Structure 1
Amino acid sequence: MMSDCCNREDTENKGLLNYQGIRTAELVNLLQAAEPIPVSVACDELKFETPPFNERLSAYISKRFGVDDCGKSARACLREAGKRKSLNISSANLSQWLGEGKWELSLGSQTLFKLCLAMELDVEEGKGFAYSCLHQTWLNYRVAREAIYLFFIEAQRLFGDETFSRACEVSSWADKVIAEYRDYIDKSASTSMEASGYTRVIADGVRTIAREDNLSAKQALTEIRRFIERNIPAFIGIQKSAIRVYDEYFSEGAFGTTPLTQLYKEATGLTLPRSGYLDNSYFQEDRERKRLLWGTINRRDWVKRNGSDVDILNKRDILMEEHAVGKMRESGIPRGNIIALLFFHFCFEQREKFQKRGVRAELFQKFYDRVNTTITEECGMMPLHPRKPFDALFMKSIAHSEGVDPITYLNHLLEGFYA
């Protein structure tokens, strides 16, 4: 695996960036040309760049349904559509999404699917909705359940108001079939193809079935089941690819890649635990809390001031970012953990350059390109989204931290932002 990909032309990344909106492209350019700024200013910028979630969602729903832009109207529209399409949207759901003060949320794939069906969005509209309104990643063909959701979004004309119930039936069936074949697949599936290659193959197949005009609803269900079953090795292969990337960057290394454990030991003289550094399974002090070791500086002071540990980041973003099926190690690595791992690896690898002046733009571009290439081509995940607070935390820490260790900058940014 090549470590330095900053000069590689990646048209797929550029295409996905377009869905994130013109403002997103502007933010990337601004970050590359950024000057060093205090953490407090970076926090204020990030809050300014991210309007409250409930306001963004309410405005989008109201515009889509052609009603007044207010939370009450948006709730009414979703409630009516949910009943008609059997989407199981509860009052608690509506309060969670549209309640006052809902500053930032990360929606799960099924919730995103429900909202697309409620507003009758097609795949292209759904991408724009996820990127420009929700500021989060879109559904991914590399995950069997999400590939099924994408199929049914494309095929709404066939299934009408029964689209959601049919999708649930197929996804439940797929979970069972994949579980039955897992032992066999683990022994036989190849991971030689890049994850993005798998993703394109799956995406083309799903689109072909969904767009076939001559299929009845019953025939389409049969075809998508056959397709999912036929491509179980591909789904497992993509998951293995993400696990391989995690292992190579964390502990094993590869051609041109020194593992983080070695870089960390060289820089600090300390040894990272083999498990638990980024996988939210390491227990510290209080066994009731699962914590990420890369939390803020002076954790005890943080807990005393804020009443809770910094696992707020883990709960809010990393677990919600999981683009693999099931638990880590069993079926894949969450996107947020891959990004965090690549950030720490890059910071330790480039620690001497970070001490120099006038190299911010170069380092930011190298980080941005490397992370995007790795998570899209090798892990089959969506690229960095600078309007998404989680992604922006890492990007701003690289862009604004000249003269300050970027990991230290991130820790202070976490404390100021999430507190």
Structure 2
Amino acid sequence: MDKEHAVNTSDVYAFKAVIAADRLALLRENLAKLNKRAAKHGVEPFTIELGRYGNQFVEDRSEGFAANIRTVEVTLTGRRISLGDYRVMASIDHRNQAFQTFGDFQIPGRYLDCDAECDHCKTKRDRAKTFLLADKSGDLIHIGSSCVESFTGYAPEFALGATSVWDQFSDMKEQLEGGDDGIRDCKMEAASPMRPFLAIVSRMIRRDGWVSSSLATANRESGLQPAFSTSHSALDELKKLIERVGHEATVEPNVDQIDFEIASNALSHARASYADVPDRETVEAFDANMWSVSSHDTFINRHAGFAAFIVRKYRTEVLEANLANQFSGESQYVGTVKKREEFEFTLDKKIPLEGAYGTNTLCLMHDQQGNQLRWMASGLTDMEAGKSYRAKATVKKHEEYKGIKQTILSRVSVTEELGNEQRIEAGAAEPQAIECSM
């Protein structure tokens, strides 16, 4: 058989894999054991190099479970086996028609169904195993296992032991590439669909304002309402809905069309806002979690606070910012102090505030001329943000807030709902400073 010339291969062989970060310790341990065997057989130690950390979301939608896995890219490297001046490129098991290559070497097709010949002794016999070696010039040589020692100066047991080390390294590679990476077999947690959840959150914010976990905790300790945060209440409602229809059924929450639109736009806004997180030199934990949660259409239930914040972020940075730009003209006082009059206004925002006798609701409003009105409701109110109303109210006082004239109302009594004037904007305004309490 003619020799192959100029074998195209490298002395160093490396492959990359992405594994669950918590599997890194086990991988290092297995590599250390492999290197002990490698040292016994004269094989240079295998090395591991860490690359970029990341996250991978794994889910089973039919069961309603998911996991957000911390991952790390690893590069495993080994040097080709050498027998003196010869590099071992491959071994051929002629009895079982099995082939083992080392590194990135590819066996020439003519060796796949060749006789068990030996280029050293030039004899044909019923050999069980042969090796393909490459000399310094790159010529490929076919050597029988019984001729390895006379040709290279190394006993065949040494070659077989060295190849067994590479067999183990190859098994490790195949296992990692085949899914034994700690990602697919991870422990999953209860998970929920993102968009129906965000739509419920949108409806709750419109009706009751944003209830943070800190406010809800304080209310529970004082026996006041609301006793649960927006994220907790929305998740509880969604879980009950899924229990009724099943995980594989379409989830249709009891919300208005505007809430579905806000949910979709809020998710797009969050994904755009946090798209650069992986490229930042340093990242705060909150931003890292928001990037991770907003990247998927499903979220782990214990991350409901981050998911709910997607809607709040959108309302603050887009809807409310656009509204402020729309009415950027000078606000004027309306009505007569201490006089009860009729007003038409749109409710922009509801803010639950803890008071001495329970939770009050600060209602921020504007009329058609862009004049700003405020009302501190005792307790909760049925008015919804984004809707317009006709109401009777008493002008309590006129005052300025941050240089803007505002009319403070009291004893507001709605006489008619005029409709929904919420403006949905998909574009993002400049981010505003937001308290990140969930």
Bigger proportion of residues as strand: 2
Instruction: Name which one, 1 or 2, has greater alpha-carbon Rg.
Output: 2
TM-score (norm 1): 0.24
TM-score (norm 2): 0.23
Q: Which has the higher contact order (CA 8 A, sep 6+)?
A: 1
Bigger proportion of residues as helix: 1
